[in-house]
A = this chain, B = another copy of it.
Amino acid sequence: MSERPVTKRGRPGYDQRAILEVAVAAFNEFGYDATSMGVLATRLFLSKSAIYHHFSSKEEVLELALDEALDGLEGVLRDENARVGPAIDRLAWVLRGAVEVLTSRLPYVTLLLRVRGNTVVERTALARRRAFDRAVSALVTEARDEGSLRSDIDPRIVTRLLFGMVNSIVEWYRPEGPEDAETLADDVLAVALDGLRVPAGN
């Protein structure tokens, strides 16, 4: 290998990743449809052609942004901790992992949660999100069948309420705020698995 540094495409200071971050912030602020490549160029102090140097289309920007969220969530499911052991422990792992992905990739997950399926890219992302939800729902059912989760609530409702709680974090979580992500994951698991009530007699 030669020692010549890898040539970066585009202007110094703006690699593909940096453009992606600015684009996702704009999509979340103004909506994907309302954010043109021209708007992005203005925000980045770049020409449109400089952006097209990195991305073939606005839809490719969206695709990479949604991948960032979905790859994170799917990575949690692929981990050995999600595949081996009692279902209740695997479910706890997945919930904790989802909170971790959500807080560490906040703008990307925010974008994912707003996708409504208007384009092929969006529909593909929605299908991957539904597959993730189904995998968690299957874990809930397994944990119920092994006797570690209560069986008086429909597993689909359980999954929806769990994701309602987890996904709502994007509405208020700020990385610079007082709550660190790990404590927040502990809190979610405590509420979801053990509930808020102090048992009578304690």
Contact = CB atoms under 8 A, between A and B. Distances in A.
Interface of A: 88, 147-150, 152-154, 157-158, 160-169, 171-172, 179, 184, 187-188, 190-198
Given A153-B187, A153-B190, A190-B150, A196 B164 contact: no
A138 to B, nearest CB: 15
Interface SS majority for chain A: helix
B187 A197 contact: no
Nearest to A147: B198
A158 B196 contact: yes
A154 B180 CA distance: 12
Copies of this protein in the complex: 2
Contacts of A196: 149-150, 153, 158, 192-193, 195
Nearest to A194: B195
B197 A148 contact: yes
Interface centre among A152, A154, A165, A187 (most CB of B within 10 A): A165
Contacts of A197: 88, 148-150, 193-194
A163 B168 contact: yes
B157 A184 contact: yes
A198 B88 CA distance: 10
Contacts of A88: 197
Contacts of A171: 164
